[in-house]
């Protein structure tokens, strides 16, 4: 089936939040902290502005607790007397003219008496920089399997390495935005978001309104990638506060500069590996330390750290593993959810480290992975027994075959011997990604979904899982139609409106198709049962029964329901971090071929092959698009996307100087799927959305290392950074 | 305010604009043509691509008064039926870049001679897309070009 809303998007008819008609509204604007840390001593309003024309909101206008509800209740809606990061919201303004409100925001000076900020997450904080607990550690986590120190002491070889990954900006093409207004006493908030119920909870909490007096609607969302997971709660609260005080609808839309400077990004990370091996490259012990920069509030950093450490050891068998993780408080703009959620950082380190090991031991990088890839019956770092029947070696072999890996190695040797200024290389990464919430997360979410039978015999799927480009509308339509034997036209998907749809959980964590899609199927079954039909009833028989039911119950609602149930045999202990971290993993092997221009040290990806096993592929066009898009976002993170910082805030907050890949910067991404249906996922599917961003970073940097002989350990590997490395090493050929 | 008139999607329109008004805002907020999207506001992303006298431009960089007496065409002027290859090839995901992508692609389609000197990827490089990785877009443009696209292939 083709993407359901494709034509609306292609013709520009799709209406995003800033496209919706709205009468008599005010434009909102946020006034922010100029300093990374300090006490607000004054707020000066320029005397030449008539402030009576503006709605002005500060922290005293917040009816409930001044907190954006999330994991910890530490982040204020508006700073009261202290600021903890640059761009922290302090005041809100609204006015009928967008120009006027922008000018007015510049006519307000927030005066801050500075305190010493903590800006380097890698360095131990000085006493005057401590702002969280006794050591600025937001969260510590540990995984232990076997006896690492003993195994390291006995290992014939130890290879150590330190790796670093930079922040990454989401650059969803639609910037963040919200509309808020009162409708007969009900606060209505509409906007671009991944998690309508997160926004609802945050509004209820800080505005002290019960659920019947708040309604949240998701508008078509122009990309999210995690950037619209937790952050939209802030804009929703800001727009709502202005609308409540101003008594008129308020539209609060960030322009690109504000969006890039003030919203979340991927957590920067520093990862150290100490690995014990046999001389022929079998893993004996992995000791891994993971540190991530959380920024100025807790936000989602504990959960990002969790996924980071669980993925840190890679898809390999090793009896002795210790992984310690820390999320650090700094006075940076808080980092947040971004596709992959910690796993891309640790798997960059792990897969780059595998190549460093191969080079140190003088063994082939492919052989090293063949030796160590998990076989069925073996366990991950958390002790999860892998028994899904996927042939992980076959995934690797398919990637080698499709990319022409061995042939390319020979061709590159010849090419590099005959070219003065270009070097070519090929690089590999084998990796995995756990689908759905970690550990007991899905049980905590208790997701619910309904499928309504409509009087005309069609069905409507009611869920809070949203479309942001990844294909939820299309896949849910296909799943319901297939389950009931309906034509796609006889299935509609309800708008994500908290006044109508049950909480099917956040649209994150590669969980929507696999887990919520499973609820679509089961709610269809439940609908049939309520009609007195068995599971074999399909098509016209079901439609007739629905129509008959409505004939017998005029005006009543007919709904099949489903709630999340844990698949059998999954056990997780959150205290010891032992057990089944995920219901299912996607498995992948990616190969990148690069060319480096030795004159500029710019690296270009010539070819990219992405092979993965993600259960049954439900919609080949959508699935391929997820992989290609994820790979290109990963190419950007690996080679060009660099956040420049001053006082913990991004200073290159423009698409002019924060570069993302264009069509001309990347090759076609060649995608192949191996299919091993997952019995507990919708239609046999496993999660897919995040997996593709875990592999490009290490595959590309491994290729650059092989092309040049340099030993890069950090991304983004910009031309400047590679040039520094090349110049530092006198043995390297440099044009 | 400056009163101006211009031809928009084949019809004469008259508006009053401030000297600093951007064509993008005039289209979206004064004339309610919201198909043209804002992605960056500085001519980097191409989401606001429209045709000015038949040439693709970024509407965020054009002061509205400059289009006085000229011809402006937006995404709303295109024939939806002709967009079938873009639907089939997976050229749109979130859709925020899509109207601009389609406008550029459509212009390339009308100027097949460009493919003698440029690849589709070079010609599409002014439109940023964060979802598709560009393959769906390039495939759709090739398909829409028919023989022209196949000759040059994908660079």
B125/A664 Cβ within 8 A: yes
**What whole-number distance in Å separates Cα of residue A139 and Cα of residue A298?**
9
Q: How far is B140 from chain A (nearest CA, A)?
A: 12
Handedness of CA A52, A53, A54, A55 (dihedral sign): positive
In residues, how long is chain B?
A: 155
Q: Quick one: closest CA in A to B79, which residue?
A: A11
Q: Considering only CA atoms, which of A420, A231, A216, A185 is closest in space to residue A336?
A: A231
pLDDT at res. B145:
87
B134/A628 Cβ within 8 A: yes
- For B69-114, the pLDDT digits (tens) are 999 999 999 999 989 999 999 999 999 999 999 999 999 999 999 9
B133/A662 Cβ within 8 A: no
Crossing angle of the two packed helices A405-418 and A392-403, in degrees rounded to 10: 40
- Name the DSSP letter for residue B110: T
Provide the β-strand partners of residue B1. none
Q: Which of B95, B119, B144 to mutate to test the interface with A (most CBs of A within 10 A)?
A: B95
Banded pLDDT at B146 (limits 50, 70, 90) = confident
pLDDT at res. A733:
57
Q: Which residues of A touch B36 (CB under 8 A)?
A: 12
Q: How far is B25 from chain A (nearest CA, A)?
A: 11
B86/A663 Cβ within 8 A: no
Q: Which residues of B touch A633 (CB under 8 A)?
A: 130, 133
- Which residues contact residue A551 at a Cβ distance below 8 angstroms, ignoring those fewer than 6 apart? none
A171/B122 Cβ within 8 A: no
Residue B153 has pLDDT above 50, yes or no: no
Rounded to 5 degrees, φ, ψ at A336 are: -150, -165
**What whole-number distance in Å separates Cα of residue A380 and Cα of residue A386?**
7
A662/B126 Cβ within 8 A: yes
pLDDT at res. A729:
82
Listed as ranges, residues in chain A with pLDDT below 50 are: 734-735
By DSSP bridging, strand A645-646 and strand A602-613 are: unpaired
- Name the DSSP letter for residue A497: B
Alpha-helical regions (H) of A38-156: 98-106, 148-154
A663/B138 Cβ within 8 A: yes
Number of A to B CB contacts under 8 A, please give it: 181
Rounded to 5 degrees, φ, ψ at A26 are: -110, 145
Collapsed DSSP state (helix, strand, coil) of residue A538:
coil
ipTM attached to this prediction: 0.97
Alpha-helical regions (H) of A51-112: 98-106
Q: Please report where in the chains the tokens 């590999």 appear, as a residue.
A: A428
A663/B127 Cβ within 8 A: yes
Q: Could you give the maximum distance between any two Cα atoms of chain A, in Å?
A: 86
Residue B150 has pLDDT above 90, yes or no: no
By DSSP bridging, strand B11-17 and strand A584-597 are: unpaired
**What whole-number distance in Å separates Cα of residue A630 and Cα of residue A636?**
10
Q: Which residues of B touch A21 (CB under 8 A)?
A: 32
- For A512-558, the pLDDT digits (tens) are 999 999 999 999 999 999 999 999 999 999 999 999 999 999 999 99
The helix (H) or strand (E) run that includes residue A712 is: none
């Amino acid at each position: 089936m083709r993407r359901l809303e494709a034509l609306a998007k292609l013709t520009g008819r799709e209406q995003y939040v800033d496209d919706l008609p709205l009468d008599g509204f005010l434009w909102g604007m946020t006034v922010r902290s100029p300093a990374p840390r300090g006490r607000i001593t004054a707020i000066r309003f320029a005397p030449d502005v008539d402030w009576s024309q503006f709605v002005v909101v500060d922290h005293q206008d917040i009816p409930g607790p001044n907190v954006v509800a999330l994991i910890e209740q530490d982040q204020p809606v508006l700073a009261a007397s202290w600021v903890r990061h640059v761009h922290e919201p302090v005041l809100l303004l609204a006015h009928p003219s967008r120009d006027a409100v922008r000018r007015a925001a510049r006519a307000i000076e927030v005066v801050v008496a500075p305190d010493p900020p903590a800006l380097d997450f890698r360095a131990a904080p000085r006493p005057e920089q401590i702002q969280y607990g006794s050591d600025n550690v937001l969260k510590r986590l540990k995984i232990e399997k076997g006896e690492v120190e003993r195994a390291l002491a006995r290992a014939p070889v130890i290879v150590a390495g330190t790796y670093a990954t930079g922040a990454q900006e989401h650059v969803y093409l639609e910037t963040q935005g919200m509309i808020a207004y009162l409708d007969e006493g009900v606060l209505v908030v509409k906007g671009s978001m991944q998690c309508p119920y997160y926004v609802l909870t945050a509004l209820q909490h800080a505005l002290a309104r019960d659920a019947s007096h708040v309604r949240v609607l998701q508008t078509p969302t122009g990309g999210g990638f995690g950037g619209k997971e937790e952050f939209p709660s802030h804009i929703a609260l800001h727009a709502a506060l202005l609308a409540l005080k101003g008594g008129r609808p308020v539209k609060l839309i960030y322009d690109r500069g504000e969006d890039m400077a003030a919203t979340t990004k991927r957590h920067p990370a520093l990862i150290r590996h100490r690995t014990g091996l046999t001389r022929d490259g079998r893993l004996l012990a992995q000791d891994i330390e993971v540190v991530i920069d959380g920024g100025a509030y807790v936000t989602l950093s504990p959960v990002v750290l969790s996924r980071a450490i669980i993925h840190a050891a890679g898809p390999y068998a090793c009896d002795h593993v210790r992984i310690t993780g820390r999320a650090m408080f700094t006075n940076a703009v808080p980092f947040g959810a971004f596709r992959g959620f910690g796993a891309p950082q640790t798997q960059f380190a792990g897969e780059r480290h595998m190549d460093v090991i191969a080079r140190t031991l003088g063994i082939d990088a492919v052989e090293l992975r063949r030796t160590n890839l998990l076989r069925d019956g073996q366990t991950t770092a958390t002790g999860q027994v892998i028994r899904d029947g996927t042939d992980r070696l076959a995934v690797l072999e398919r990637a080698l075959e499709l990319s022409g890996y061995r042939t390319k190695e020979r061709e590159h040797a010849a090419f590099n011997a005959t070219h003065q200024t270009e070097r070519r290389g090929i690089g590999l990464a084998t990796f995995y990604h756990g689908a759905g919430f970690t550990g007991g997360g899905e049980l905590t979410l208790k997701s619910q979904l309904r499928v309504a039978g409509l009087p005309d015999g069609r069905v409507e799927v009611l869920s809070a899982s949203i479309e942001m480009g990844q294909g939820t509308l299309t896949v849910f339509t296909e799943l319901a139609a297939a389950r009931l034997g309906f034509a796609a036209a006889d299935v509609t998907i309800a708008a994500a409106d908290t006044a109508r749809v049950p909480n099917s959980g956040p649209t994150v964590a590669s969980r929507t198709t696999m887990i919520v899609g499973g609820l679509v199927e089961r709610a269809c079954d439940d609908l049939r049962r309520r009609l007195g039909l068995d599971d074999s009833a399909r098509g016209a028989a079901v439609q007739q029964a629905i129509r008959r039911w409505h004939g017998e119950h005029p005006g009543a609602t007919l709904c099949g329901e489903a709630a999340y149930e844990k698949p059998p045999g999954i056990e997780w202990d959150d205290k010891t971090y032992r057990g089944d971290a995920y219901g299912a993993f996607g498995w992948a092997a990616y190969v990148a071929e690069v060319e480096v221009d030795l004159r500029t040290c710019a690296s270009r990806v010539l070819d990219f092959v992405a092979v993965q096993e993600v259960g049954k592929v439900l919609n080949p066009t959508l699935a391929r698009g997820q992989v290609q898009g994820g790979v290109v976002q990963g190419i950007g993170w690996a080679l060009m996307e660099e956040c420049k910082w001053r006082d913990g805030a991004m200073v290159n907050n423009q698409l002019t100087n924060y570069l993302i890949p264009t069509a001309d910067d990347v090759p076609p991404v060649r995608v192949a799927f191996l299919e091993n249906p997952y019995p507990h996922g919708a239609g046999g599917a496993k999660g897919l959305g995040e997996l593709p961003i875990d592999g490009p970073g290490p595959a590309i940097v491994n290729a650059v290392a092989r092309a040049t002989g340099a030993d890069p350990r950090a991304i983004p590997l910009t031309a400047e950074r590679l040039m520094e490395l090349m110049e530092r090493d006198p043995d390297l050929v440099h044009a | 305010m400056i009163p101006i008139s211009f031809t928009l999607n084949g019809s004469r329109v008259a508006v009053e604009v401030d000297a600093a008004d951007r064509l993008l805002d005039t289209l979206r907020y004064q004339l309610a043509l919201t198909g043209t999207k804002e992605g960056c506001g500085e001519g980097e992303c191409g989401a606001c691509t429209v045709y000015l006298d038949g040439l693709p431009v970024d509407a965020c960089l054009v002061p509205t008064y400059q289009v006085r007496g000229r011809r402006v065409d937006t995404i709303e002027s295109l024939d939806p039926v002709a967009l079938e290859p873009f639907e089939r090839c997976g050229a749109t995901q979130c859709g925020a870049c899509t109207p601009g992508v389609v406008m550029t692609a459509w212009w390339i389609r009308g100027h097949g001679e460009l493919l003698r000197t440029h690849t589709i990827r070079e010609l599409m490089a002014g439109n940023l897309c964060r979802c598709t990785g560009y393959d769906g877009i390039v495939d759709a443009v090739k398909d829409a070009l028919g023989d022209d696209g196949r000759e040059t292939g994908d660079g």
